[in-house]
Amino acid sequence: MLVRLAVSLTALLLVAGVAFANLSPELGGKPTKAQRRAYAQSGHYQDGEFRNLVPTALMTGGSSTLCMLWRFLFDKDPLATPAAPLPMQVLDSLSITRKTTDLVRVTWFGHSASLVEIAGQNILLDPMLSVEMGPIPWLTPNRYNPRLAITAEQLPPIDAVLISHDHYDHLDYQTIRRLKEKVRHFYVPLGVGAHLLTWGVAPARVTELDWNDSVQLPGLTIVSTPARHFSGRGLTNRNSTSWSSWVLKSATKRIFYSGDGGYGPHFRAIGQQHGPFDLALMECGQYDAQWAEIHMLPEQTVQATLDVRAQVLLPVHWSAFTEANHAWNDPVRRATAEAARLRLAITTPQLGQPVTLGTGPLPQSLWWQ
């Protein structure tokens, strides 16, 4: 009886929360009818939804969504969150503005938010730079640390923001509002532009790219490449926008960012077409048997890095939020062990610690222990 009551109360709170969220500007915008008709030409949009290259189930493992939610809320791994704020190198606008054409430097801010300095361009990936996530903070995970290594206001001018998909932990309304005036251009998957326009970004500074589309910046090529995931910011817009991984190519260096997604043959195809890569920022975290096809296990992260032919792995999508029922540091422990077994170089910087290519040893301390 108590369990049934608890489930009913939880469901009621979720319904109330969703109703509130639907009134929030954080939900974003919707593609127009004309845009949706155009998306049908992409080859991976059908019946009003974007599709993956291979069949992909959102839920796996044979358990119901309600059981999964119950387990996440009331039967968490005892180490799902760290006991204290994580070590972090605090940055400011002066320590992160040295733009040179020969420097390739990556600074990871936690979860998937990263700044890539390449070919004299500042490229910002999935800038979720808020402590709270989404329109209902009491319902969604909060960041482990009460502050970030840098704020949106402290970032240097940004030449391009790349968004992998529209989930709240990758496309953050508050960050976009604080950041939009210093961004030259936003490059996003099909459909995601509607969110940015709703939030006040000028249409001339937003470009939607389909898989395998590319754009040219001075000295740099940006390519939207496939991923295996899903999208949506509410209950009624599942897969109404697309999702991407991203390739950055300068005259001398190549960087890959996986975005979110499950393991699949697209990694090998990307490696054959665009590799080898000097560094791959790869999703590594928030996995579970209940959604095994939309997020990779750490061992799959390592294999995907080998598939894209990257020399070095930088695991991301961990160390900020608990969105799955595993220990908070399980991703990096397992990825480090598997990389050692397969003799793949891995770099494990602290939050805010720059990773500079070609200037000596990369950060590899076991700071999470």
Cα–Cα distance between 205 and 180 in angstroms, integer?
10
Range of the domain at 236: 93-357
Starting from the edge strand earliest in sequence, which strands make up the sheet with 220-225, in order? 214-217, 220-225, 245-249, 254-257, 279-283, 312-316, 345-346
pLDDT value of residue 151: 95
Q: How many domains does the chain have?
A: 1
Q: Does 40 reside within a domain?
A: no
| pLDDT given at position 301 | 98
Examine residue 186 and state whether it is found in any structural domain, yes or no: yes
pLDDT of residue 3: 44
| pTM for this prediction | 0.93
Is 24 within the bounds of a domain? no
CB-count exposure of residue 367 (10 Å: 0-12, 13-18, 19+):
middle
Q: What is the predicted pLDDT for the residue at 96? A: 79
Q: What is the CATH number of the domain that holds 330?
A: 3.60.15.10
15 falls within a domain: no
CB-CB neighbours of 22 under 10 Å: 13
pLDDT score at 155 = 95
Q: Give the model's pLDDT for residue 157.
A: 94
Q: Which residues contact 350 (CB under 8 A, 6 or more apart)?
A: 86, 87, 88, 89, 363, 365, 367
**Is there a domain that residue 60 lies in?**
no
Of 229, 234, 250, the C-alpha closest to 164 is: 229
For position 5, what pLDDT does the model report?
45
Q: Considering the domain boundaries, does residue 3 fall inside one?
A: no
Residue 367 domain-assigned (yes or no): no
**How does strand 186-189 pair with strand 206-209?**
parallel
Whether residue 32 is contained in a domain is answered as no
- The pLDDT of residue 101 is 73
Cα 188 to Cα 171, 246, 275, 337, distances in angstroms = 10, 10, 22, 34
Show pLDDT as tens, one digit a residue, over the chain (369 residues).
Answer: 444 544 555 554 555 455 554 578 999 999 999 999 999 999 999 999 999 999 999 999 876 666 666 666 666 788 999 999 999 999 987 777 666 677 899 999 999 999 999 999 999 999 999 999 999 888 888 999 999 999 999 999 999 999 999 999 999 999 999 999 999 999 999 999 999 999 999 999 999 999 999 999 999 999 999 999 999 998 889 999 999 999 999 999 999 999 999 999 999 999 999 999 999 999 999 999 999 999 999 999 999 999 999 999 999 999 999 999 999 999 999 999 999 999 999 999 999 999 999 988 999 999 999
The whole-number pLDDT of residue 73 equals 62
pLDDT at 137: 82
pLDDT at 164: 98
